Amino acid sequence: MKRLLAVIISCVLLFFAGSFAGCGSAYEREYYKDGDIVLGLFYFEVWLLGKNSPAVYKQMCAELEVINADIILTAPSPLKYLNDEAGAGEPVEVSRHTYELVKLSEAYYHKTGGAFNIAVQKLSELWNVDATRAGYFMFPVAPDVIKLPDVETVNAAKSIYEKFADTSTPFGVEASQEGAKYYLKKLDKDIKLDFGAVAKGYAVEVCMDIAKKSGIRSALVSFAGHNKFYGRYYDAATQSEEDWTVGVNHSRSHGERANPFFWEPETLFATSVPGEMSAIVSGDYQRYYLYPYVRQGEAGEPVLDENGKKEYDFLPVCHIINPFTGMPVGVSFDGKRYVYDDAAVVSAAIFDSSAVAAEGYATAACVKSFEEAKTLLADKGIKGAVVTAQKIAFIGIAESDLLTEYPENATYKRYGEPNIEFVAF
Amino acid sequence: MTKSEKIESIKKGKPFRLTDIFFLAGLAAAVLALCWWVYWSPPAYPVQGVEVRQNGKLVERPYAFPKPDEEPLEIPLQGLTLVIESGACYVKKGSSTCPDHACERMGKITRPNQKIVCIPNGIVIRLVGESNFISIG
């Protein structure tokens, strides 16, 4: 009886010892992967390797809510109040996150020579590409529903922030701190800000800081397509570490931008990414609409097809506003109507240790011409790729860095030899 | 043997015989093997399939891909119809009930970790598979 009792107790103790050992290793040998639509608008995904990964994910989601509450423009928020109601000189209390966003934006404004500018919200509204207008993206729109702004209106909206160019407050907004409180104050009542070009990268950095402080040893944080990696990728099957592999989708997969008929993304190029690195793509190929212009003959008469119906030319209007022209990237005015430049930059993929820097430079590269974008990235030592419909330039990335093991990872080769450049720093 | 002699004999005797020790060792080895299999063995690659979540909850265990010679699966979800063919899946054109049909325009996904997201219906469709390849853009 004593022996039987000793055997039973030993078995129970051994089993619990094993159980506790197993609990301690949860998510230390296999990623905790979770993701969901957050803030009603964005897909947020994490891969976390480390103890307490589920709790870390929840903490990240909570912090995203805090950041968003201040800067959302589709619901009441301090930023919406600042934009729509605050007068010049009226201080509006904001969170530390919003204050940081303004300061970071000012830094990247100066680093990109003004190509990165968060004061273009008024223009986004005029061009119908602001956050409230996603419903018709990728479709041709009816010209009696969506009206393009005339050039005078565009120039007037541009002049609101242009007068603050190259000052210490380039957006016409003063950010200040008094003790533990933060304030924004407009210097012109018509100034409107939009943090869409910087907030996602900032949110990714905040989430990654949470992960690092919690002892996570390898992570992927992806928020609305903005990605950051930390530590090396841990392959659970082989129990070894390796670099992450990032494939950048082609902005013109199968020769087309994303369209309502069908789109099968192709990988433009793939490369290894060591931790700690962000990888972000900005481009004109998902959030855009097509504005129809009636095709006109030499005398200005509408051109008709064989069935007697009017023919149309479609102007692509994307969400990235060029702060220098006040128009969507690639769009200019030829004296009669808006036209699109086929040589415009269509996307820029940036790899940088800072997600905010990656986002700032990706936006700036899309605003600039192909040559200017290459020069900007090369001068600043920023790794990435700048893409037009005809050319691609890799900056700080050598051909040997590209993974071409699978042909489908290397559709950049379709550009053909003279149109593929490798620019060293 | 009297009762007290028996008690004395037990007190002086070894707590375990050799056979007890072998039995315990065997049992311990079996328990350790069980613990290793449950907690410490490297996880096998999960079967490649399609995971669907709606409003954060798993709708169904990952769907397996049909074989190349089998008909594609059409799976009606709340808000769209998912088509799964061999090695790929996509949202059936015209099936989404939301105003902008963005999920239909995301096209076919074919690699592990790629996803299709329908924000208005709270649906996330993801290809499940262990891979360090992340698609962006």
Q: Is residue A225 part of a domain?
A: no
The set of residues, in sequence order, having a beta carbon less than 8 Å from that of A275 and lying 6+ positions away, is: A218, A229, A230, A231, A232, A244
Q: Tell me what pLDDT residue B42 has.
A: 45
Confidence of residue B44 (pLDDT cuts 50, 70, 90): very low
Stretch (H or E) spanning A336: none
Q: How far apart (Å, rounded) are the C-alpha atoms in residues B49 and B62?
A: 5
What DSSP letter does each residue of A158-221 carry, written as one string? Answer: HHHHHTTTTSSSTTSEEEEEETTEEEEEESSTT----GGGTHHHHHHHHHHHHHHHTT--EEEE
Q: Is residue A110 part of a domain?
A: yes
Nearest CA among A330, A352, A222 for reference residue A278:
A352
Residue A124 phi, psi dihedral angles, 5° rounding: -60, -40
CB contact under 8 A, A222 and B53: no
Q: How far apart (Å, rounded) are the C-alpha atoms in residues A401 and A420?
A: 14
CB contact under 8 A, A238 and B42: yes
Q: How far apart (Å, rounded) are the C-alpha atoms in residues A328 and A288?
A: 10
- Structural domains of chain A, count: 1
Q: How far apart (Å, rounded) are the C-alpha atoms in residues A401 and A385?
A: 12
Residue type, A142: A
Q: How far apart (Å, rounded) are the C-alpha atoms in residues A386 and A115?
A: 15
Choose the mutation target among B132, B133, B135 for the interface with A, i.e. most A CBs under 10 Å. B132
Q: Which CATH number fits domain B47-129: 1.20.120.1200, 1.20.1250.20, 3.30.420.240, 2.60.320.10?
A: 2.60.320.10
pLDDT at B43 over 50: no
CB contact under 8 A, A237 and B133: no
Q: How far apart (Å, rounded) are the C-alpha atoms in residues A329 and A124?
A: 12
Q: Is residue A107 part of a domain?
A: yes
Q: How far apart (Å, rounded) are the C-alpha atoms in residues A94 and A117?
A: 20
Q: Kindly provide the b/e burial profile for residues A49-62, where b requires at least 16 CB atoms within 10 angstroms of the residue's own CB.
A: bbbbbeebbebbee
CB contact under 8 A, B105 and A227: no
Q: Tell me what pLDDT residue A149 has.
A: 96
User: Mean pLDDT over all residues of chain B?
Assistant: 80
Q: Tell me what pLDDT residue A205 has.
A: 97
Residue by residue, pLDDT tens for chain A (425 residues) are 666 666 677 666 666 655 555 444 578 888 999 888 888 778 899 999 999 999 999 999 999 999 999 999 888 999 999 999 999 999 999 999 999 999 999 999 999 999 999 999 999 999 999 877 755 566 667 767 788 999 999 999 999 999 999 899 999 999 999 999 999 999 999 999 999 899 999 999 999 999 999 999 999 999 988 999 999 999 888 889 999 999 998 888 766 776 655 566 788 999 999 889 999 999 987 788 889 888 888 888 999 999 999 888 889 999 999 999 999 999 999 999 999 999 999 999 999 999 999 999 999 999 999 999 999 999 999 999 999 999 999 999 999 999 987 667 788 999 998 999 999 99
Q: How far apart (Å, rounded) are the C-alpha atoms in residues A89 and B19?
A: 90
CB contact under 8 A, B134 and A247: yes
What's the gap in Å between the CA of B107 and the closest CA on chain A? 5
A315: which strand partners?
A: A291
Choose the mutation target among A14, A230, A277, A402 for the interface with B, i.e. most B CBs under 10 Å. A14
- Tokens matching residue A31: 């990623």
CB contact under 8 A, A279 and B117: no
> How do residues A126-175 score in pLDDT, each as one tens digit?
999 987 775 556 666 776 778 899 999 999 999 999 999 989 999 999 99
CB contacts of A250 in chain B (<8 Å) are: 137
Task: Say what the alpha-carbon torsion angle B104, B106, B112, B113 is, to the nearest 10 degrees.
Answer: -110
R_g of chain A, CA atoms, integer Å: 25
What's the gap in Å between the CA of A181 and the closest CA on chain B? 35
The set of residues, in sequence order, having a beta carbon less than 8 Å from that of A53 and lying 6+ positions away, is: A27, A31, A32, A216
Cis peptide before A417 (omega within 30 of 0): no
Q: How far apart (Å, rounded) are the C-alpha atoms in residues B100 and B106?
A: 12
Q: Kindly provide the b/e burial profile for residues A346-378, where b requires at least 16 CB atoms within 10 angstroms of the residue's own CB.
A: bbbbbbbebbbbbbbbbbbbbbbebebbbebbb
Q: Give the residue on B whose Cα is nearest the Cα of A9.
A: B24
Q: Is residue A115 part of a domain?
A: yes
Q: Is residue A174 part of a domain?
A: yes
- Selecting from A135, A258, A268 the residue whose C-beta is nearest the C-beta of B105 gives A258
Q: How far apart (Å, rounded) are the C-alpha atoms in residues A101 and B16?
A: 71
CB contacts of B93 in chain A (<8 Å) are: 261-262
- C-alpha of A415 from chain center: 25
Nearest CA among A282, A248, A281 for reference residue A267:
A248
CB contact under 8 A, B136 and A248: yes
* 3-state secondary structure (DSSP) of residue A66: helix
The set of residues, in sequence order, having a beta carbon less than 8 Å from that of B9 and lying 6+ positions away, is: B1
Q: Give the residue on B whose Cα is nearest the Cα of A246.
A: B134
Nearest CA among B87, B47, B89 for reference residue B68:
B87
Choose the mutation target among A37, A233, A256, A285 for the interface with B, i.e. most B CBs under 10 Å. A37
- Selecting from A37, A247, A249 the residue whose C-beta is nearest the C-beta of B119 gives A37
Residue type, A396: G
What's the gap in Å between the CA of B92 and the closest CA on chain A? 10
Instruction: Give mean pLDDT, residues B54-63.
Output: 80
CB contact under 8 A, B40 and A10: no
- Tokens matching residue B131: 């891979």
What's the gap in Å between the CA of B122 and the closest CA on chain A? 7
Are the CB atoms for A327 and A318 separated by under 8 Å? no
Range of the domain at A182: 74-119+164-193
Q: Kindly provide the b/e burial profile for residues A280-291, where b requires at least 16 CB atoms within 10 angstroms of the residue's own CB.
A: bbbbbbbbbbbb
Confidence of residue B47 (pLDDT cuts 50, 70, 90): very low
Question: Which residues of A, range 11-30, sit inside 8 Å of B by Cβ?
Answer: 11, 14-15, 17-19, 21-22, 25, 29-30
Are the CB atoms for A328 and A345 separated by under 8 Å? no
Are the CB atoms for B92 and B79 separated by under 8 Å? no
pTM of the model: 0.81
CB contact under 8 A, A136 and B100: yes
Q: Is residue A328 part of a domain?
A: no
- Tokens matching residue B86: 């061999």
Distances (CA, A) of A300 to A144, A292, A296, A303, A308: 20, 16, 5, 9, 16
Question: What ipTM was predicted for this assembly?
Answer: 0.81
